[in-house]
């Protein structure tokens, strides 16, 4: 990853006559803004999804969250700088000696860090597949944090020579350029270092990832073959269900890991090969070859930075659980709004409402006691009905349940008081009614006895 200089020492005027060079300029001007926008949105969404409560307990989620931060660092320290050079003619490494050293140090370190995070995730999945009983002891949050810190410190120290060897040096045009400080470091950086970087960034991660994926795939296939062969038919139903559940979980994680690793190997290998062969391909100094190298330099860089851009889309493509979390996150606001509306409607449908409606018919009801509508997010309207005040607080997730419960408790208390008074009044009325009915019954009996002593004519209004 020789990310310091242009691919050749020829001037732009000498190369501009070749189609390959013009194509490379077009790629550098058009593609980077697209990758930066997609990469920024994708990595931020990955961080938001992977830190959700339902998924952040996994150590794999922690690794992938750190990977998203590392990818953002790569895009904004590496790709953004390259785009600004070709689009505006501005190189941030020429702004000062410190900027020259820090920028190149961060670019190399973040690229290596992203590669080694995939290595750690692969090893973790190997342990989970082959040593499931030890996985809980080995794959813990504290262990994962310690591993991430250790790898980060190692990579920063390994690339620390860039802080010494790179410096802003005035060129023939009188402007500062971020270059090697002397010939000896120039030889190390352009001849020896590409081989070291090839091993650290590509060969070792490539080997570990391929072997690890092979072990995981072997374990998954063996597990599936045992199921197909009916070896679990002699076990209980619960153990058979657990076996299927574990196999499905491993398959889900394996699919994501395989996708990430394949994309990494395809995108990282070309630029590592380019950096190793660059010194040998430019010995003749042919202009046509230099223009072709410019084009290949643009292509291999887009491949490399694409690996830091599309991880979110790879998660969605290969991970059903990740897709489910994405759907939940985007639908949660609408769901919370709907739930808040239902809670409000339920609150206003309490028995207290009918007494309010009756009170509204009273001529004493003034405007000060009329319902006041308060507009809240999600078109939720809460009111203050007369002397019964409904207090609600709105957060990102909707109404706080404690406020609704407080209002419900108040309304329930009012309801109980009304019911108690009503029962007392009803008892008094029923008792009075029973006494009146008893008196009326006695009077009817006396009247009946008197009527029985009279003749039919005497009972009629007139007799003919």
C-alpha dihedral (440, 443, 448, 454), degrees to nearest 10 = -140
**Same domain, residue pair 106 and 145:** yes
Give the pLDDT confidence score for residue 439 in this predicted structure. Answer: 43
pLDDT at 322 over 50: yes
Give the pLDDT confidence score for residue 242 in this predicted structure. Answer: 45
- For the segment 103-135, what is each residue's pLDDT rounded down to a tens digit? 999 999 999 999 999 999 999 888 888 888 887
Give the pLDDT confidence score for residue 233 in this predicted structure. Answer: 53
**Same domain, residue pair 31 and 175:** yes
**Same domain, residue pair 97 and 170:** yes
Helix (H, G, I), strand (E, B) or coil at 79: helix
Can you tell me the mean pLDDT for 87-114? 93
How is residue 263 written in tokens? Answer: 């994309």
Domain count, the chain: 2
**Same domain, residue pair 204 and 101:** yes
| Higher-confidence position of 259 and 339 | 259
The reply to whether 94 falls in a domain is yes
> Could you tell me which of 295, 302, 264 has the C-alpha nearest to residue 78?
302
User: Residue 177's beta-bridge partner residues?
Assistant: 169
pLDDT at 176 over 80: no
Q: Give the Å distances, CA to CA, from 124 to 127, 143, 195.
A: 5, 11, 28
User: In angstroms, rounded to a whole number, what is the distance separating the alpha carbons of residues 414 and 417?
Assistant: 5
Helix (H, G, I), strand (E, B) or coil at 375: strand
What percent of the chain is modeled with pLDDT above 70?
61
> Could you tell me which of 161, 22, 117, 110 has the C-alpha nearest to residue 304?
110
What percent of the chain is modeled with pLDDT above 90?
34
Can you tell me the mean pLDDT for 388-404? 40
Give the pLDDT confidence score for residue 92 in this predicted structure. Answer: 92
- For the segment 190-220, what is each residue's pLDDT rounded down to a tens digit? 889 989 998 999 899 989 998 998 898 888 8
Q: For the residues of 167-234, what is the DSSP string, one character each?
A: EEEE-TTS-EEEEESSHHHHHIIIIIHHHHHHIIIIIHHHHHHHHHHHHHHHHHHHHHHHHHTTTTTT
What CATH number did the domain enclosing 56 receive?
Answer: 1.20.1070.10
**Same domain, residue pair 241 and 311:** yes
Name the helix (H) or strand (E) containing 394. Answer: strand 394-395
Burial (0-12, 13-18, 19+ Cβ within 10 Å), 273: middle
The reply to whether 327 falls in a domain is no
**Same domain, residue pair 237 and 370:** no
User: In angstroms, rounded to a whole number, what is the distance separating the alpha carbons of residues 198 and 192?
Assistant: 10
Can you tell me the mean pLDDT for 158-187? 86
Query: C-alpha angle with apex 325: 254 to 209, nearest 5 degrees?
Result: 20
The torsion angles phi and psi of 381, rounded to 5 degrees, stand at -115, 125
**Same domain, residue pair 266 and 388:** no
Can you tell me the mean pLDDT for 162-187? 84
- For the segment 327-368, what is each residue's pLDDT rounded down to a tens digit? 888 886 555 555 555 555 554 444 444 444 444 444 444 444
Can you tell me the mean pLDDT for 128-148? 87
**Same domain, residue pair 249 and 307:** yes
**Same domain, residue pair 310 and 360:** no
Give the pLDDT confidence score for residue 258 in this predicted structure. Answer: 83
1 pLDDT band, cuts 50/70/90, is low
**Same domain, residue pair 230 and 358:** no
- For the segment 53-88, what is each residue's pLDDT rounded down to a tens digit? 888 888 988 999 999 999 999 999 999 999 999 999
Q: What mean pLDDT value characterizes the chain?
A: 73
The reply to whether 155 falls in a domain is yes
**Same domain, residue pair 225 and 340:** no
- For the segment 413-440, what is each residue's pLDDT rounded down to a tens digit? 555 555 555 555 545 444 445 444 444 4
323 pLDDT band, cuts 50/70/90, is confident
Range of the domain at 65: 12-318
**Same domain, residue pair 394 and 262:** no
């Amino acid at each position: 990853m020789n990310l310091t200089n242009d691919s050749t020492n020829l001037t732009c005027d000498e190369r501009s006559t070749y189609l390959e060079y013009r194509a490379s300029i077009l790629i550098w001007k058009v593609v980077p803004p697209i990758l930066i926008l997609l990469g920024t949105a994708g990595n931020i969404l990955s961080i938001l999804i992977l830190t959700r409560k339902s998924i952040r307990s996994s150590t794999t989620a922690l690794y992938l969250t750190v990977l998203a931060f590392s990818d953002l660092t790569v895009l904004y320290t590496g790709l953004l700088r390259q785009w600004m050079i070709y689009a505006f003619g501005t190189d941030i490494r020429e702004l000062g000696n410190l900027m020259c050293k820090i920028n190149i140090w961060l670019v190399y370190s973040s690229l290596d860090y992203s590669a080694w995070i995939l290595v750690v995730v692969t090893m973790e999945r190997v342990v989970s597949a082959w040593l499931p009983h030890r996985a809980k002891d080995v794959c813990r949050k504290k262990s994962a944090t310690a591993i991430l810190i250790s790898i980060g410190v190692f990579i920063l120290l390994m690339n620390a020579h860039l802080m010494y060897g790179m410096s802003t040096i005035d060129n023939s045009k009188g402007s500062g350029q971020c270059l090697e400080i002397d010939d000896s470091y120039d030889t190390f950086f352009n001849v020896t270092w590409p081989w070291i970087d090839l091993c650290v960034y590509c060969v070792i991660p490539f080997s570990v990832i391929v072997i690890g994926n092979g072990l995981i795939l072997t374990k998954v296939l063996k597990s599936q073959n045992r199921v197909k062969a009916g070896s679990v038919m002699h076990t209980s139903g619960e153990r058979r269900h657990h076996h299927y559940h574990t196999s499905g979980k491993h398959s889900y994680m394996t699919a994501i890991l395989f996708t990430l690793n394949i994309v990494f190997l395809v995108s990282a290998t070309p630029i590592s090969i380019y950096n190793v062969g660059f010194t040998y391909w430019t010995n003749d100094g042919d202009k046509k070859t230099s223009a072709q190298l410019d084009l290949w330099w643009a292509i291999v860089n887009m491949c490399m930075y694409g690996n830091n851009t599309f991880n979110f889309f790879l998660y969605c493509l290969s991970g059903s659980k990740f897709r489910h979390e994405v759907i939940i996150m985007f639908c949660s606001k609408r769901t919370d709004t709907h739930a808040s509306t239902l809670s409000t409607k339920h609150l206003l449908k309490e028995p207290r409402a009918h007494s309010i409606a009756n009170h509204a018919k009273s001529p004493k009801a003034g405007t000060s006691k009329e319902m006041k509508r308060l507009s809240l997010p999600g078109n939720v309207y809460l009111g203050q009905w007369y002397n019964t005040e409904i207090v609600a607080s709105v957060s990102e997730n909707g109404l706080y349940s404690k406020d609704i419960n407080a209002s419900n408790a108040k309304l329930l208390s009012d309801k109980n008081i009304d019911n108690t008074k009503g029962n007392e009044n009803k008892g008094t009325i029923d008792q009075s009614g029973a006494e009146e009915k008893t008196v009326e019954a006695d009077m009817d009996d006396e009247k009946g006895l008197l009527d029985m002593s009279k003749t039919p004519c005497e009972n009629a209004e007139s007799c003919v």
